Amino acid sequence: MRNRSSAALIRKVLDPTVYSLLETSWASPVPPGRSIEWILDHLLVPPPITTLRVNAVDAEKVEDVIATATKLFYPRDVQRHSLLDDVLIVNHDTVSSSEGLPSRTKQREDPRAKECFVNSDRGCSTNCHAATSISTRTRTVAAGQESQFQRDNKDHDEVVLRTDQRKGLKENGGGQLPVILVDRRCGQAVLRGAHVFSGGVLASEPHLRVGEMVEVFTLPGRLHKSKLAVECANVQRNQEMSSIHSSAVAAQPSELPLHGQKSQEADAHHASENIRAGGEERSTSADKSDPESNGELRGGDCDCGRSEAQNDETEQEHLASVLRGTYLRAALPERVRKTGIFCGRGIIRQNLGQVYAGKPGIAVEMESAIDLSTLPACLVAQNLPSIVVGHVLSPQPGERVLDMCAAPGGKTLHLATLMKGHGLIVAVERSKTRAEKLRSFLSTSSHASIVEIVCGDSAKGTWQSTQLGKGSHGRGFIGYFDRVLADVPCTALGLRPRIDFEGLTDRVVLAAAKYQREFLKSGCQLLKTGGTLVYSTCSVSRAENEENVAWALRHLPLMLEPAEPFVGTHTFENGDRGARLFPPGEAEKLQRFCPSGNTIGFFIAKFRNTGTG
């Protein structure tokens, strides 16, 4: 997937305890000739597609929505998903012709993840569905050369990854553009499709002008401050102050090194990143600026790893403060290229002196950015697995549905769409801030009027419904709901691209899994006999997924059902990795999305309440 000489490998970014936990308990099959590390390395790069959901109850309007999407994203190619009628695929690496017909680079999209399974008697086999970026092999292709490669290899299971979007796929050597270094969260936002806002810029090569093309890099999460910051400081000290002044003034009078200066727009790129994630994934680690809006496990959820998180964040903030406003001179640009993560190319839109002084706005306009911030109400940007969750739950018009962790609302709105605006959805959200944002998001769709937004804790049952009027809290609705969605808070170990793993240790993962069981227990109590409960996470850890399913089957009156439709892979248990968690035939009812496919890593399990026990 990437040049092995690159330092931007998941092993160097993840905490060693987390990497070891994932490697030793990996629940999914590994393609022949590949490794778990190869799969996990995909977490550092963005999926090659963007998925949109058609937010329309009337089937006759779907074609109009598709036409709208085609115009909005031109010249990128927009296709309809082959299995899900309400899903559109925006291909990053293919374009439509000027006549509106598919170009020669277009391939038929069948965006199911790579379907691999392990049979302990037969070994590992794979069944790979052709798609624009699903593979068991990769090839480095320079930007502008991918069309011919795709034509020549359209029947092969190879990934075509554009070099201007992936670190390590960039050719080293001559013709390199100047370097701009951004902080880790900004880099993550850029990889998800955002521009570079001034608050995220840390350092740059000197003498850069507005309108100049640059390469944007960020630093791996576990790079110690001495690795680069000290080098940068040493180079700065070795420069004669007179020559620094003269050269800086000659180039851009306002671009003097401003060590340690804080930007006044620190949160701009965080907000952009949330948009890039489709407004859907609660468990993105980017939005640390507002503790209530961050959907990862918060401090009150689990105690483990709190000191590690604080220490890591403190070190990263110190590193950013040391680097912010410095010039990358001498060998430092090459050092950044070797140790950093390549985020893409863009054009400088602001004088860097003004950027370092805190002027708000876009500092670098990225080539590959896709603006999802102004989508019409008929289109909702969501990761593909997040859409599949709604179809697995499959709520029907007139039913009573509980969404246990509703904000920011993409899945909630999808459920209302599937119910055609008839029935009741109780959407519970613990954070008041996120509940208000959820209310605002749903207000743009008339069929979302069936949603009652409730602020409370669904894990503890401490919420109250004014519409239902039964009891003072959620525990008064035992056996009441036809369907329950438990899309629980998680460690987000499946989100991609993700390069920010602050404070995430093995203890945090295990504590998260334990906390998630509270949602399963509470959701089961509120589900009527024969009702459906869907459990999902955007994590790839077995502790949060298969092990929690096994726990639920042992302790709750639940039985597994196939998590259909299967757009991702079936989970086939690997008998070589410890004792089996499930009886024969049960594991294959689970659905996993592998991060080495064209989506984020994700997990879905579907239960039916047996009413026994």
Domain ranges, residue 64: 10-161
Average pLDDT (548-557) is 97
pLDDT at residue 613, rounded to an integer: 58
Given this model, what pLDDT does residue 499 score? Answer: 87
Whether residue 192 is found in the same domain as residue 140: no
Angle of helix 306-323 relative to helix 225-238, nearest 10 degrees, comes to 20
Q: Quick one: CA dihedral 405, 307, 343, 138, positive or negative?
A: negative
pLDDT at 320: 58
pLDDT for the residue numbered 611 = 85
Q: How many CA atoms lie within 13 A of 555 on its CB side?
A: 13
Residues 323 and 412 reside in one and the same domain: no
More confident residue, 276 or 235: 235
Q: Which residues pair with 345 in a beta bridge?
A: 215
Check whether 189 is labelled as a binding-site residue: no
For 419-467, write each residue's pLDDT tens digit: 999 999 999 999 999 999 999 999 999 999 999 999 999 999 888 888 8
* Position 307 pLDDT exceeds 80: no
| 426 and 460 inside one domain | yes
| pLDDT(590) > 80 | yes
Q: CB within 8 A of 393, min separation 6: which ones?
A: 401, 415, 483, 485, 532, 534, 606
CA dist., res. 352 & res. 378, Å (int): 39
- Together in a domain, 539 and 601: yes
Between these two residues, 176 and 422, which has the higher pLDDT value?
Answer: 422
Q: Comparing C-alpha atoms, which of 556, 528, 557, 550 is closest to residue 605?
A: 550
Q: For residue 27, what pLDDT is reported? A: 82
Q: What is the pLDDT of residue 332?
A: 85
Is 377 inside a domain boundary? Answer: no
Q: What is the pLDDT of residue 581?
A: 87
CATH of the domain at 401: 3.40.50.150
In a domain, 374, yes or no: no
482 annotated ligand binder: no
410 is in an annotated binding site: yes
Are 391 and 344 within one domain? no
Residue 167 lies in a domain: no
> How far lies 58's CA from each of 54, 55, 126, 419, 527, in Å?
10, 9, 39, 12, 29
Query: Contact at 8 Å (CB) between 569 and 16?
Result: no
Beta strand pairing call for 400-403 and 591-593: unpaired
Confidence of residue 192 (pLDDT cuts 50, 70, 90): confident
Domain boundary among 366, 396, 430: 366
pLDDT band at 240 (very low <50, low <70, confident <90, very high): very low
Of 343, 378, 538, 594, which is the active-site residue?
Answer: 538
The amino acid sitting at 208 is L
Over residues 552-569, the mean pLDDT reads 94
DSSP three-state, residue 87: strand
Domain count, the chain: 3
**Residue 170 forms part of a structural domain:** no
The domain boundary, picked from 310, 340, 366, lies at 366
What burial class does residue 241 get, using C-beta atoms within 10 Å of its C-beta: 0-12 exposed, 13-18 middle, 19+ buried? exposed
DSSP code string of 420-479 = TT-SEEEEEES-HHHHHHHHHHHTT-GGGGGEEEEESBTTTTB---TTT--SSSGGGGTT
In a domain, 285, yes or no: yes
Q: Is 606 annotated as ligand-binding?
A: no
Neighbours of 499 (CB within 10 A): 25
Q: Looking at the domain assignment, is residue 2 inside a domain? A: no
**Structure-model confidence comparison of residues 151 and 186, the more confident one:** 186
Last-in-domain residue among 161, 188, 214 = 161
Does residue 265 register a pLDDT over 90? no
What pLDDT is recorded for position 523?
96
The pLDDT assigned to 427 comes to 97
In tens, the pLDDT along 487-526 reads 999 999 999 999 888 889 999 999 999 999 999 999 999 9
429 marked as part of a ligand binding site: yes
Count CB atoms within 10 A of the CB of residue 9. Answer: 18
Question: Which of residues 54 and 281 earns the better pLDDT score?
Answer: 54
352 against 153, higher pLDDT:
352
DSSP lists the bridge partners of residue 428 as: 454
Average pLDDT over every residue of 70-85: 89
Give the integer Cα–Cα distance in Å for 346 and 368.
8
Residues 348 and 394 in one domain: no
Any binding-site annotation on 405?
yes
85 and 213 part of one domain:
no
Determine the Cα–Cα distance for residues 335 and 494; give it in Å rounded to an integer.
29
Which stretch, 13-17, 222-226, 273-277, has highest mean pLDDT?
Answer: 13-17
Q: What is the pLDDT of residues 19-50, one digit of tens each?
A: 999 999 888 778 889 999 999 999 988 888 89
Q: Is residue 464 included in any domain, yes or no?
A: yes
Rounded-to-integer distance, Cα 79 and Cα 77, Å:
7
Beta bridge partners of 605: 535
Q: Is the pLDDT of residue 156 over 70?
A: no
Whether the CB-CB separation of 113 and 567 falls below 8 Å is answered with yes
Please check the confidence at residue 130 and state whether its pLDDT lies above 70. no
Residue 171 lies in a domain: no
- pTM for the model: 0.74
Question: Are residues 418 and 325 part of one domain?
Answer: no
pLDDT per residue as tens digits for the range 387-428 = 999 999 999 999 999 999 999 999 999 999 999 999 999 999
Residue 580's pLDDT is 80
- 390 shares its domain with 426: yes
* Helix/strand/coil (H/E/C) assignment for every residue in 254-322: CCCCCCCCCCCCCCHHHHHHHHHCCCCCCCCCCCCCCHHHCCCCCCCCCCCCHHHHHHHHHHHHHHHHH
- 506 vs 356, more confident: 506
253 in the same domain as 225: yes
What average pLDDT does the chain have? 74
Question: Does 407 carry a binding-site annotation?
Answer: yes
Position 326 confidence tier, pLDDT thresholds 50, 70, 90: confident
Q: What is the mean pLDDT of residues 299-323?
A: 50
Catalytic-residue membership of 538 = yes
The verdict on 183 and 157 lying in the same domain is no
- Distance (Å) of CA 13 to CA 184, 244, 442, 467, 504: 11, 34, 37, 47, 11
Backbone angles phi, psi at 12, to 5 degrees: -85, -10
353 labeled binding residue = no
- pLDDT-based confidence at residue 574 (cuts at 50, 70, 90): low
Residues 340 and 447 in one domain: no
Residue 409, marked binder: yes
pLDDT at res. 539 = 97
Least confident of 88-92, 191-195, 470-474: 470-474
**pLDDT on residue 165:** 38
Least confident stretch, 200-214, 312-326, 482-496: 312-326
Question: In this predicted structure, what is the pLDDT of residue 149?
Answer: 28
Q: Report whether 408 belongs to an annotated binding site.
A: yes
